[in-house]
Amino acid sequence: MRIDWISKLQHLLQVLGFCLAIAAIQVAFLPDRPYGPPATYSLFIGLFTWAIIDLGRHLFPSAQETGWPNGLTGLALVLGGIVVGYMLGNLVADLLCRTFDLYHGTPKMDRATELRNSVLITGMAGVVGSYYFYALNKSAYLERKMAEARHQASESRLKLLETQLEPHMLFNTLANLRALIAVDPARAQTMLDHMIAYLRATLSASRTGTHTLEQEFARLADYLALMAIRMGPRLQYTLELPDTLQALPVPPLLLQPLVENSIRHGLEPKVEGGRITVRAQSDGTTVTLEVEDTGLGLGAPDPDGSRFGLAQVRERLATVYGAAGTINLVAGHAGGVRASITFPLKT
């Protein structure tokens, strides 16, 4: 198992703090004794015990959930670490206390009582410390599993929302195609060719949770070509995608509902038609995708009494980007509506 040395350093600092706290408690119960000797013993016993147990556990096969050896191996490691840590810690601490005369002024105590107290404190502290790190590892494992579960749930939700969007767009396009067949078969055939190309791209995108912004714009180009055949010169459109954002991953069909709303609610009911502009831009930290039209504006009537696509875009943004993903509708610069989607450049 690979050792995370940053995590080990954090463990070491926690152990040292725990040892100093134990020494302080000892002095609190025996205020006539100096702080130096108990702190030295506590630090070195704790240091050796921690090193043997927390570093030694990587020498044995460990459970994935906890990172600790299972069964008797784990138990033997903890008990062995406490015993050996106690002996080595005592040896080094005694040597230091004598060398630096830290025992000076320390009242005499019955040796048997002192030995019993030190063994009892070391045993309890070793068990508590080992359980703390065991529980810490298990908690981290459960958090990772919860994060994986949330990620899988988000992907499933995106797929569900996409399955709702695909038929919505498909039925609208088929209805348009049916109307065009009766009045202009040649244009209907061209429209059908664009529709086949669009559905082929859609099928490829449906196999992944995200695709590039370049692919999203390519699908919009196919869709707008379909609409331009049906509306003729009443519909003009522009797609603006900087080269630097072409490879940016986004959920499939993120912009499609906004473009569809612009045509359905803004440009299609307007006698003279208008223009729709789709653009992407970034300020280095966030990305803004805009769909702006010159249609009837925010006060336009809603033909079917619902804003299906807009609600779906909001849900998809919340699922992928959380509170960092927003959508705003404002009046366009030349009348009409400007819809803006904003999300972090890196997620």
Q: Which residues contact 246 (CB under 8 A, 6 or more apart)?
A: 212, 213, 214
pLDDT tens by residue, 186-230: 878 887 887 787 777 766 665 666 788 998 898 888 888 878 887
Task: Please give the radius of gyration of the chain, using alpha carbons only, rounded to the nearest integer.
Answer: 34
Please state, for a pLDDT cut of 70, what percent of the chain lies above it.
Answer: 88
- Give the best-scoring range by mean pLDDT among 61-70, 101-110, 254-263, 305-314: 254-263
Per residue, the 3-state secondary structure of 22-62, as one string, reads: HHHHHHHHCCCCCCHHHHHHHHHHHHHHHHHHHHHHHHCCC
Whether the model pTM is above 0.85: no
DSSP run (H or E) holding 149: helix 111-183
Please state, for a pLDDT cut of 90, what percent of the chain lies above it.
Answer: 28
Q: How much is the average pLDDT of 75-82?
A: 92
DSSP run (H or E) holding 276: strand 274-282
42 φ/ψ angles, rounded to the nearest 5 degrees: -65, -45
In order of start, what are the domains of the chain with their CATH numbers? 5-162 (no CATH), 165-344 (3.30.565.10)
Number of CB atoms found within 10 A of residue 180's CB:
20
